[in-house]
Chain A
Amino acid sequence: MALVKNNAMIDDPFVDVTGQETIPADGPVIVDLHQWQSHREQLTQRTDPVGVRLRSDQPPELIAGDLESLALVALEFPVFRDGRAYSYARLLRGQYRFDGEIRAVGDVLLEQLHFMERTGFDAFELQSDDPLGDLQVASADFDVWYQPAADGRLSAMQLRHQSD
């Protein structure tokens, strides 16, 4: 699976072990919520980074107290039409001030990339033959935005009144 981060293809340092019975002793891993909750103690002791993968029916509230121990939260799009993770990403960046990686996983497609980026995602497991090309297409669409989001871009309203 192609992983795109900071406008570049990268080799994923994490191993996704979600759903597996045993968790490897070292190396960066992504676990699911159940694994996290049952092995929290051991997992927080590790020196290598740990990420948690949330299903779209698992709001980040469930790991709100643990975010300091996490390097990454992966939010799942079971199908591109399921938009819950956009709100989860915004909560993670806004309310919970999470500054680790927020990774979009699952049914991640070109046409939704721009919204993902705006709501706080910074890494994408893209379903595509040309992920970088897709990213370029998606980010060339707009340079006016009507609302503030998690990406720090100024909204039209903010720009209109910047000099006030």
Chain B
Amino acid sequence: MYRYDEFDHKLVAERARQFRRQVKRRLSGELTEDQFKPLRLMNGLYMQLHAYMLRVNVPYGSLSSRQLRKFAHIARTYDRDFGHFTTRQNIQFNWIKLEEVPDILEELAEVEVTAIQSSGNCVRNITSDHYAGRARDELADPRVYCELLRQYTILNPEFSYLPRKFKIALTGSPRDRAAVALHDIGLRMHRNEAGEIGFEVLVGGGQGRTPFIAHTIREWLAPEHLLSYVESILRVYNMYGRRDNMHKARIKIIVNQMGIDRYRELVEADWEQIRDSVLKVPQAEVDRINAYFAPPEYECLADIPDELNDVRARIPEFDQWMAANVAEHRIPGYSIVNLSLKAPGMPPGDMTADTMDAVADLADRYSLDEIRVNHRQNLSFVDVRQRDLFTLWKELKLHDLATPNIQSVSDIICCPGLDYCNLANSRSIPVAQDLSRHFVDVDHLALVGDFTINISGCMNACGHHHVGNVGILGVNKRGKEFFQLTLGGSSDENAALGDRLGRALPQDEVPAAVETIVDTYLAMRLDGERFLDTYRRVGIEPFKQAVYSPVQTRAVA
């Protein structure tokens, strides 16, 4: 967990005070709504259907129990007792009063949390692998570089009025859990031929109405050049990104219009001028940040597979949970535990204030105080002693956070949709609820295995539907809600956009269609194949047939 130093504290306090002044100027009419809008968005404040929504950053997904308790307090005091975890490691509060926002920001600053640039046409919250610093396959902890970028991008005077929003994600593992290829800038650690760790730099990925997988702009970048290279990418975008049409303003559009080679030329030319400037990251700063992350004090333990297997053999429910929700840790004797926020019927990502408090207490007792928010709208405890797993499981069950469905059919990503969002075409949450109630048989979930379903309420794609193994997109046809399915999307190291299955379906036909897709896969899969592997091998036709012209219907007709 990064701790603020005096500079960080001061800046955040100053920013909160500045926003208090901006709100005052708005309320007194000195600022028009048009002038105020970008200012409030740069502080995470949206106008939704019914009220203001405040989006608060959880930088690169790391959260302490103290911070989570503060979220519970905010939910209770200023909202309707709950919050919503998003796909970009943020939390949103949905029922906020403008006049109270300055107080909320001050309360958040007490626990080193902000809403700075959680929205607006600027660089947003830097996201990362939720297993960062703990994953066994990691080359180095990406959070140090996330923190460098966080500071560099906060209130950056040159890049606060970009053509459009800008999202950066980092991974330190070959296994990409941060969807870096779907970001404006993605950074992927790897070794060059000399064996040194650096970043592959990707640019121009994104979802929304025109999705793109990012291009590699540089194969390998030395970490000391991270800030200058990002500055050059941002500068070229700021100068040449399109401002004539909001829907064409993201960096992905300009990169694909001018071509990645031309974009690279411009970036490299600018970078030549600044690569050895004060932007070069001194090793002393990397060391300082590392120290401020204060690595947890692990006990010297051994892995205990036999003991765990014993319990697993006796208690099948625990076994299912272990198989689905628990991941390897790089320190012996420890595990990573995923908390599922996707119990049947729950709106994905929502959490009540009481549950937040309960999770904070559990994190104190079982996870060395640290919680992670991940891009599939679940939480993770990243430092759990294996000998505590069984007790923790029982505790999580009491709070309905132990559904063994991580990365399975009912672990659905879903945007807020028409229940909150004024851009929505459809109610996405009820579709997620229907599906999670439909797929409740945990043995069946385990049998199906890795399978992601992502739902967006409109083509803005906040629910990542383009990259769901099954993507579901709400569309509006003559005033009625329909849902368009796509297959084969993926956001990992082999990122792919889904293919359209066929005509959109009414809401009540969606669960049956997904079930048909699942059954079709099960009938065709070869040993050990995930849905995605089978799909890539057999293509879309068998699924299309099964959903739109099942054999039985034709036989009857």
Residues of A at the B interface (CB closer than 8 Å) are: 59, 80-84, 86-88, 90-91, 94-95, 109, 111-112, 114-116, 118-119, 137, 141-149, 155-161, 164
Find chain A residues with CB under 8 A from B223 CB.
none
Q: Given A88-B239, A141-B14, A159-B7, are A164 and B284 also a contact pair (CB < 8 Å)? A: yes
In the A-B complex, list the 8 residue pairs whose CB atoms are closest, starting with the nearest. Answer: A83-B161, A118-B157, A156-B7, A115-B157, A144-B11, A146-B151, A86-B158, A141-B18
Which of the candidate stretches B272-280, B299-307, B461-469 sits at the interface with the other chain?
Answer: B272-280
In contact, B274 and A94 (Cβ under 8 angstroms): yes
A-B contact pairs, 6 of them (CB 8 A): A59-B239, A80-B161, A83-B159, A86-B159, A141-B17, A156-B11
Q: Nearest Cβ in chain B — how far from A121, in angstroms?
A: 10
Give Cα A91–Cα B282 distance, bound, in whole angstroms.
Answer: 24
List CB contacts (< 8 Å) of B17-41 with chain A.
17-18, 21-22, 31, 35, 38-39
**For A160, what are the chain B residues with a Cβ–Cβ distance below 8 Å?**
5, 7, 284-285, 288
Contacting residues, chain B, for A155 (C-beta < 8 A): 278
Instruction: Enumerate chain A residues within 8 angstroms of B64, measured Cβ to Cβ.
Output: none
Judged by a CB distance under 8 angstroms, whether B121 is at the interface is yes
Q: Is the CB of A147 within 8 A of B7?
A: no
B35 contacts across to A, CB distance below 8 A? 80, 109, 111
Tell me the smallest distance from the CB of A119 to a CB of chain B, in Å.
5
Within 8 A of A (CB), among B149-171: 151-152, 154-163
Complex interface: chain A residues within 8 A of B534 (CB): none
| Cβ–Cβ contact A161 & B284, under 8 A | yes
Interface of B is mostly: helix
Instruction: List the A side residues contacting B156 at CB < 8 Å.
Output: 146-147
Asked if A81 and B38 sit within 8 Å, CB to CB, the answer is yes
Q: Is the CB of A142 within 8 A of B11?
A: yes
User: What 0/1 readout, one digit per residue, does chain B (214-242) give for beta carbons within 8 Å of chain A?
Assistant: 00000000000001000000010011000
Contacts A146-B154, A156-B7, A156-B151 hold; do A161 and B285 have CB atoms under 8 A apart?
yes
Identify which of residues 268-313 in chain B touch chain A, using a CB-to-CB cut-off of 8 Å. 273-274, 277-279, 282, 284-285, 288
Q: Is B399 at the interface (CB under 8 A from chain A)? A: no
A116 to B160, CA, bound (A): 11
Instruction: Apart from A87-B238, A149-B158, list 13 A-B contacts with CB within 8 A.
Output: A83-B163, A84-B243, A86-B160, A87-B235, A95-B273, A115-B160, A118-B157, A119-B158, A143-B10, A144-B11, A147-B157, A158-B278, A160-B5
B138-184 interface with A by 8 A CB criterion: 151-152, 154-163
**Per-residue 0/1 for B232-270: is the Cβ within 8 Å of any A Cβ (1 yes, 0 no)?**
000100110001000000000000000000000000000
- Shortest distance between the CB of A23 and any CB in chain B (Å): 29
User: Which residues in A have their C-beta under 8 angstroms from that of B17?
Assistant: 141
A60→B18 CA distance, assembly (Å): 32
Nearest CB on B from A22, distance (A): 33
**A59 smallest CB distance to B (angstroms):** 6
- Which residues from A are CB-within-8-Å of B38? 80-81
- State the Cβ distance, A2 to closest chain B Cβ, in Å: 17
Taking the closest CB of chain A, its distance from the CB of B15, in whole angstroms, is 8
Contact B157 A149, beta carbon cutoff 8 Å: yes
Most buried by B among A95, A111, A158, A159: A111
Given A88-B239, A156-B11, A83:B284 Cβ within 8 A: no
Q: Which residues of A contact B8 (CB under 8 A)?
A: 156
Proximity string of chain B (485-524) to chain A, C-beta cutoff 8 Å, 1 when within and 0 when not: 0000000000000000000000000000000000000000
Q: In the complex, which of the residues A158, A159, A161 has the most CB atoms of chain B within 10 Å of its own CB atom?
A: A161
CB-CB under 8 A from B158, the residues of chain A are: 83, 86-87, 90, 115, 118-119, 149
Instruction: For A146, give the chain B residue with the smallest CB separation.
Output: B151
By a CB distance below 8 angstroms, the chain B residues around A59 are 239
CA distance A59 to B235 in the complex (A): 12
A157 to B7, CA, bound (A): 9
Does A86 lie within 8 Å of B157, measured CB to CB? yes
Partner of A144, one of B7, B22, B159: B7
| B7 lies within 8 A of A83 (CB) | no
**Docked complex Cα distance between A80 and B243 (Å):** 13
B182 to chain A, nearest CB (A): 24
With both beta carbons as reference points, the residue of chain A lying nearest to B5 in the complex is identified as: A160
Measured in the bound complex, the distance between the Cα atoms of B139 and A35 in whole Å is 57
What residue of chain B has the Cβ atom nearest to residue A88's Cβ?
B239
Residues of B within 8 A of A164 (CB): 282, 284
| Cβ B157 vs Cβ A157 within 8 A | no
Which listed residue (A119, A148, A159, A161) contacts B279, Cβ 8 A? A148
Is B288 a contact partner of A86 (Cβ separation < 8 A)?
no
Contacts of A161 in B (CB 8 A): 282, 284-285, 288
Q: How far is the CA of A157 from the CA of B524 in the complex (A)?
A: 57
A114 CB contacts on chain B under 8 angstroms: 157
Q: With the chains together, A87 CA to B121 CA distance in Å?
A: 15
* A80: chain B residues within 8 A (beta carbon): 35, 38, 161
**How far does the Cβ of A111 sit from chain B's closest Cβ, in whole Å?**
6
- Min CB distance, B89 to chain A, in Å? 20
| A157 CB contacts on chain B under 8 angstroms | 151, 282, 285
